[in-house]
Amino acid sequence: MNAFLAFLKIDLKLAMRNRAVLFFNYLFPLMFFFVFGLAFDAKQGGTSVIVVTMVTTIGILGSGFFGAGMRAVQEREENILRRYKVTPITPVPLLLASIVMGVILYLPTVSLMIFLAHTMWGMPVPGNLFSLFVFVCCGAAAFRSLGLIIAAVVNSSQEGNVLIQIVYMPMLFLSGATFPLSFMPDWLQIVTQFIPASYLVTGMSGILQRGESITQNYKSVLALLVTLVVALFIASKLFRWEKEEKLRPSAKLWVFAALLPFFLLGGYQAWSRQELTKAKIIHRDLARSHSWLIQNVRVFVGNGQVIESGAVLVRSGKIEQVYDGSFPDAKSLNAEPIDAAGKTILPGLIDVHVHLGASGGFPEDFSKFDPAKASERALESYLYCGVTTIRSLGDRLDFMLKLRGKFGTGEKLGTELLFCGPLFTAEGGHGTEYARFLPEAMRASFNAQFVRTPKSAEEARKQVDDLAAQHVDAIKGVLEEGVPGYSFNRMDVNILRAVVDEAHARGLPVAIHTGKSADVIDAVALGTDSVEHGSFADEIPDATIAEMKAKGIAYDPTLSVAEGFTNFAKGDTTLLKRSLVQQVTPKDLLSGTEKAAASDEFKGLREGISHYPMSIQTSGNNLLKAWRAGVMLVTGSDAGNFLVMHGPTVQHEIELWVAAGIPPEVALQAATWNAAKLLRIDSRTGTIEKGKEATLLIVDGNPLQDVRALSAISAVFMKGERVPRSQIFEQK
């Protein structure tokens, strides 16, 4: 210990006199700090965090390979090490002192960069500084140990320079220290998982940008510490006091032995793709931290208020300010301006009733249809169309959990997904019929994920509890007996009451599918949170409508599905000709559906549907009654059914509402604030107000005068990120 402390004291004194050490520890990182800050416009959102991360990584690499490695070679060539040889010490205290000295010298640089980024660019001071500094210490120590191995195996400064460049350059350019990993092709991103510096970048990004702790980055920390120990051991065994002592060229392979922990970790990450996923999420967070000033725009707030001309300031994924009339210059706000004169900005649209497991049509080749990929494409299609939140009301639970994991974290860009998972029905009830179209071997697993058919109230409560434990967003029940020739077993109302009561006890909203007015009467009496469909067959009684109003039950008429069924029965595919539908729907699905609507193969299906009592006129009348009675209205499309393609669902649903007599402003509020309240996300979205998420839709024109303007999309923002609509279907 005495020898170590003595060497540490000497090294610190010598380092402060060594211009090269001072350069690589202080000036070298700061040069990149200001250059990157200018190049990446560090005043913008969270870009300053990326600059600090990149520059800290570059500084650690410089300190390790040049500050430790080259300095050790030079001290051996200048016979400085020879003087220590006569003392009764081993190389270990000297090497340890070099490593610790480098860490001590570099920490002030990190502190200085954080201070400068905070004062110059407004970067928040990290709340987890302890984790940050511990991680930096681990990284700096590990890379200085790698530098000391290089010093141990080379025979001259010239050899040292060559070997350092061979190791240093890939780490500099393939780790994310100079180019974000997300900019690289997929195969190259996999290669980066074998680059030690990659774990510095993703680890520090997670700590600085996402507030992660040191324990959340334990794999990277463990690899750094193992590298430190292995490299220190090898460097001590190969250590030479004098320049006359030479090693064989093969000794240089020991450098790769020290990198073995990262080769192993890289193999694991290439298989699991955890770090690549994390890099995508970090890149998404960066995109969402951008600052925008959307100016000269009409603002439909969502709660009934309209600002005819104003601006919306978006920063770090949130709405920071809404201006009515005049607004500051974008430059003074460090925001990128978007001129939206003649346009309208609205909260992102919400569809409270979709089925992602169904396509809405018929693919040309069913053998090539992949439901999982189709569901991912659907989430991308909704976001492309400005429908920024959807609720799946009846889909396979396993599919929904996977989709939420992939899109909810930001790994992939798509609309926000809420879901109920399986639906509660009776044996032989509506929802169970879909399994008939599957091979017998698949039916049991499908039903286990798609439906719940409790036989008693106690079983119903337990099934609700199980779903609540998997964090579903709602519970759905079914009340429908169908029609002669296409009948269902209707669920026992007492069992469904247990479902509703237990869901409410677990804090979950309930949606009940209804077919006729009698079903609506029972659903309202049970205290559902929303009535789905209402009645396409007959008029809902005034007393039931009044009870809905009194209990605060939302009404979701889903006019789109009534129109889709009716049109498909007639072979009318006009709905497929809509521009947004054409833009987002796969071509084979469009062409296959066109053929199905006219082919003899599906003639029997079309004939059967034509006898089903689904009147859009009746449904529209029920909608008008509910609106006039003051019932809260919400927009759902039942997408996935005939001709109701995933994507621009809410736009067309609103068009149908307006055609039925609903004022545009009422329909728009139903698709924004009301829907958000039903889904219990109104504290963060649904209106354009300060502090809420910047999930927004900009359209050309004024949808309050002509709702068709909702399909003339100018821009979509998802939590502050301007959605790259032209590239969204190219995601990997």
User: What is the DSSP annotation of 80-118?
Assistant: HHHHHHTSS--HHHHHHHHHHHHHHHHHHHHHHHHHHHH
- Kindly tell me if the per-residue pLDDT of 630 is higher than 90: yes
Closest CA to 477 of 518, 425, 434, 432: 425
CATH node for 349-684:
3.20.20.140
CA distance 71 to 203: 28
Band of pLDDT at residue 642, cut at 50, 70 and 90: very high
pLDDT score for 227: 84
527-582: pLDDT as tens digits: 999 999 999 999 999 999 999 999 999 999 999 999 999 999 999 999 999 999 99
- Kindly tell me if the per-residue pLDDT of 268 is higher than 90: no
CA distance 196 to 223: 9
Among 365-369, 427-431, 540-544, 656-660, which is the least confidently predicted range? 365-369
> How large a percentage of the chain has pLDDT more than 90?
55
| 71 in Cβ contact with 22 (< 8 Å) | no
Q: Which residues are registered as beta bridge partners of 487?
A: 482
- Kindly tell me if the per-residue pLDDT of 3 is higher than 70: no
pLDDT score for 367: 79
Question: Are β-strands 475-479 and 423-424 bridged in parallel, bridged antiparallel, or unpaired?
Answer: parallel
Mapping DSSP to helix (H, G, I), strand (E, B) and coil, where does residue 487 land? Answer: strand
pLDDT score for 350: 98
Domain limits, the chain:
2-170+200-258, 290-347+685-724, 349-684
The burial class, CB within 10 Å (0-12 / 13-18 / 19+), for 385 is buried
**For the residues of 520-557, what is the DSSP string, one character each?**
HHHHHHHT-SEEES--SSSPPPHHHHHHHHHHT-EEE-
Query: What integer is the mean pLDDT of 696-725?
Result: 97
- Kindly tell me if the per-residue pLDDT of 88 is higher than 70: no
Cβ atoms within 10 Å, residue 118: 15
Mapping DSSP to helix (H, G, I), strand (E, B) and coil, where does residue 616 land? Answer: helix
- Kindly tell me if the per-residue pLDDT of 10 is higher than 80: no
CA distance 34 to 27: 11
DSSP 601: G
Band of pLDDT at residue 439, cut at 50, 70 and 90: low
> How large a percentage of the chain has pLDDT more than 70?
94
pLDDT score for 156: 84
pLDDT score for 87: 67
**For the residues of 301-363, what is the DSSP string, one character each?**
-SSS-EEEEEEEEEETTEEEEEEES----TGGGT-EEEE-TTEEEEEPEEEEEE-TTS-SS--
49-70: pLDDT as tens digits: 888 998 999 889 888 888 778 8
683-700: burial string, b at 16+ Cβ within 10 Å, e else? eebbbbeeebbbbbbbbe
Indicate the fold that domain 290-347+685-724 takes in CATH: Urease, subunit C; domain 1 (2.30.40)
| 629 in Cβ contact with 545 (< 8 Å) | yes
CA distance 393 to 355: 6
Going along 46-92, which residue ranges are E strands? none
162-188: pLDDT as tens digits: 888 888 898 888 888 887 777 788 888
CA triplet 333, 337, 342: central angle to 5 degrees? Answer: 130
pLDDT score for 14: 66
**For the residues of 420-452, what is the DSSP string, one character each?**
--SEE--TTSTTSGGGGGS-HHHHHHHHHHHEE
Q: Which residues are registered as beta bridge partners of 556?
A: 532
pLDDT score for 15: 65
| 459 in Cβ contact with 494 (< 8 Å) | no
Give the pTM.
0.88
The burial class, CB within 10 Å (0-12 / 13-18 / 19+), for 430 is buried
pLDDT score for 356: 95
Among 266-275, 501-510, 685-694, which is the least confidently predicted range? 266-275
Provide the token pair at 690: 């300060």
pLDDT score for 148: 86
Band of pLDDT at residue 123, cut at 50, 70 and 90: confident
- Kindly tell me if the per-residue pLDDT of 711 is higher than 90: yes
Band of pLDDT at residue 481, cut at 50, 70 and 90: confident
449-477: pLDDT as tens digits: 999 999 999 999 999 999 999 999 999 99
- Kindly tell me if the per-residue pLDDT of 9 is higher than 80: no
Q: Which long-range contacts (CB under 8 A, 24 or more apart) does 600-608 make?
A: 602/362, 606/568, 606/569, 606/570, 606/571, 607/569, 608/485, 608/486
Mean pLDDT taken over the chain: 89
| Winning range, highest mean pLDDT, from 230-239, 240-249, 538-547 | 538-547
**For the residues of 127-147, what is the DSSP string, one character each?**
TTHHHHHHHHHHHHHHHHHHH
pLDDT score for 30: 83
| CA distances to 139, 188, 247, 709, 713 from 343, in Å | 50, 41, 73, 9, 10
pLDDT score for 245: 73
Output phi, psi for 439, to 5 deg: -60, 145
283-331: pLDDT as tens digits: 888 889 899 999 999 999 999 999 999 999 999 899 999 999 999 999 9
CA distance 388 to 374: 18
